[in-house]
Chain A
Amino acid sequence: NAGVTQTPKFQVLKTGQSMTLQCAQDMNHEYMSWYRQDPGMGLRLIHYSVGAGITDQGEVPNGYNVSRSTTEDFPLRLLSAAPSQTSVYFCASSRSTGGYNSPLHFGNGTRLTVT
């Protein structure tokens, strides 16, 4: 059982480049989300989805796009990378929004450096 799979594990981008961080889950979870982890800032919600075709913004959505065409996949797109987007990105899924009896399952993260 793979759980939540994120690719790539590491990525280096130049300022202005675009890329897509991939996330897939095999637990048939309706809820998926993207977080970024920065020193001293904890985990901050970027975007989330409560089901295929539905996405919404989190706390720090600027500079990122998402789509949810299937239940399994939830890619995160960086449109024009900036050094401020250097971070570790985590994808997570759960049956509902990560609350009652439905904790989040996280992937192992993508470490992104923008130079």
Chain B
Amino acid sequence: DQQVKQNSPSLSVQEGRISILNCDYTNSMFDYFLWYKKYPAEGPTFLISISSIKDKNEDGRFTVFLNKSAKHLSLHIVPSQPGDSAVYFCAARNYNTDKLIFGTGTRLQVFP
């Protein structure tokens, strides 16, 4: 039972355009959400997070939006750059178990 779902395995975007990565969750016990970025042959690195008491968090070119009623979050990258090409994982913290659950990842390719 996948509690955190990233339904798009891959996404291709032109440099300079907006990249939108989506994540859906099913568990109402999640209260904190994170995005991690992973390059080949490296471990994931933390990118941005959002608490369930907010609906938006921005850090430079990266913005995460949270829609609690829809149990949906999204990561916007504007403008997209070739160096953003990576696999992006969303993760959610269960406040009851204090464990992080990861999604399956979306591979983003930014082409010139």
| A residues in contact (CB < 8 Å) with B | 4, 35, 40-45, 48, 58, 90, 92, 97-100, 103-109
Q: When the two chains form the complex, which single residue of B9, B41, B98, B105 contacts A99, counting CB atoms closer than 8 Å? A: B98
10 closest A-B pairs by CB = A106-B43, A103-B46, A43-B102, A42-B104, A99-B93, A42-B102, A97-B98, A98-B100, A106-B44, A108-B43
In the complex, B34 has a CB within 8 A of chain A: yes
With known contacts A98-B93, A103-B46, A108–B103 Cβ distance under 8 A: no
- CB-nearest residue of chain B to A50: B98
How many residues belonging to B are interface residues under a CB distance threshold of 8 Å?
Answer: 25
Residues in chain B near residue A35, CB distance under 8 A: 102
With known contacts A42-B104, A90-B44, A58–B99 Cβ distance under 8 A: yes
A99 to B95, CA, bound (A): 9
A109 to B32, CA, bound (A): 25
Residues in chain B near residue A42, CB distance under 8 A: 2, 4, 6, 89, 102-105
A58 to B105, CA, bound (A): 20
Residues in chain B near residue A43, CB distance under 8 A: 44, 89, 91, 102
Q: When the two chains form the complex, which single residue of A45, A108, A109 contacts B99, counting CB atoms closer than 8 Å? A: A45
Residues in chain A near residue B45, CB distance under 8 A: 106
With known contacts A44-B102, A97-B98, A108–B34 Cβ distance under 8 A: no
